[in-house]
Amino acid sequence: MTPILTCEHLTKTYGVFRALDDVSFTIEPGKIVGLLGENGAGKSTLLKILAGMLTKTSGRAQIDGNEPGVLTKSYVSYLPDKSYLNDWMKLSDLFTLFSGFFADFDIQKAKEMAKNLGLSEKTRLKAMSKGMQEKVHLILTMSRHAKLYLLDEPIGGVDPAARDYILDTILTNFSEDASILISTHMIADVEQILDEAIFLKQGKLILHAPVDELRETHHQSVDALFREVYRS
């Protein structure tokens, strides 16, 4: 199968600091991949480069045959780690905005998700709690029919019930030939939905394997393995 995403020797430096150091991997269509690593490991840097928000220093990244840029933005749906939306906007305004920006935005789906998550379309972003704002971002990201979803810490601030719904949403709302790259600290919460895990440490890729294979060889959860890897 042709990979949806290929990274070859991807590197990003800030002066002498190597935020991303010679990272190479591929992701096939239909996979949910966990991007795991401690703070400052390079997770957000990698996602930003793939989303076309940050320029790499060297190496190569290809998403469905194209370098990250204007074209890939039409089929890559990115959930950033920080809000970039105007907080005076209502949910309904955001839906209109996204419909204008992205041809693949499914407004019906967005409305349905908002209803299921108990969000009113008339509420301004400013008046919402942190958890509610996270839900809004996730709704906007997952309502696109993208080929690749890049989710940077999507479940950090939401309550456990919403987390379950969000994971459900992720499982049911991506099509079979789309892939998801999801960065998180909350490994125990997401490991059941992952196909593969990528471990980053100090900018380097130290492990990329199917999660069931990891459990089979190490006889421990991905969460436990993660703690072990990052202790040493």
Partner 1 sequence: MRWEFDNTRPVYIQLCEQFTNAIISGALLPGEKLMSVRDLAKEAGVNPNTMQKALSELERSGLLYTQRTAGRFITENKEKIKEIKQETARLRVLQFLNEMAQLGINSQEIEELLSHMKKEES
In whole angstroms, give the CA distance from residue 63 to residue 4.
6
- Of 81 and 189, the one with the shorter C-beta distance to partner 1 is 189
Beta-carbon neighbour count of residue 14 at 10 Å? 9
Report the nearest approach of partner 1 to the CB of residue 168 (Å). Answer: 6
- Of 95 and 149, the one with the shorter C-beta distance to partner 1 is 149
Report the nearest approach of partner 1 to the CB of residue 96 (Å). Answer: 30
Report the nearest approach of partner 1 to the CB of residue 203 (Å). Answer: 28
One-letter amino acid identity for 207?
Answer: L
**CB-CB contact of 134 with 165 (8 Å):** no
Q: Provide CB contacts within 8 A for 33, sequence distance 6+.
A: 27, 179, 180, 181, 182, 194, 195, 196, 197, 198
Report the nearest approach of partner 1 to the CB of residue 34 (Å). Answer: 11
Report the nearest approach of partner 1 to the CB of residue 107 (Å). Answer: 23
Residue for token digits 């935005």?
A: 105
- Of 100 and 176, the one with the shorter C-beta distance to partner 1 is 176
Q: At 177, is the secondary structure helix, strand, or coil?
A: coil
Q: At 105, is the secondary structure helix, strand, or coil?
A: strand
Token reading at 148: 């690749």
- Of 19 and 155, the one with the shorter C-beta distance to partner 1 is 155
- Of 20 and 158, the one with the shorter C-beta distance to partner 1 is 158
Report the nearest approach of partner 1 to the CB of residue 102 (Å). Answer: 24
Binding site for partner 1 (CB under 8 A): 30-32, 164, 167-168, 171-172, 176, 188, 191-195, 211-213, 215-216, 219-224
CA 87 to chain centre: 22
Residue for token digits 């196909």?
A: 195
**CB-CB contact of 37 with 201 (8 Å):** yes
Please state the φ and ψ torsions of residue 90, each to the nearest 5 degrees. -90, 165
Report the nearest approach of partner 1 to the CB of residue 211 (Å). Answer: 8
- Of 121 and 223, the one with the shorter C-beta distance to partner 1 is 223
- Of 89 and 224, the one with the shorter C-beta distance to partner 1 is 224
The single-letter DSSP state of residue 73 is: G
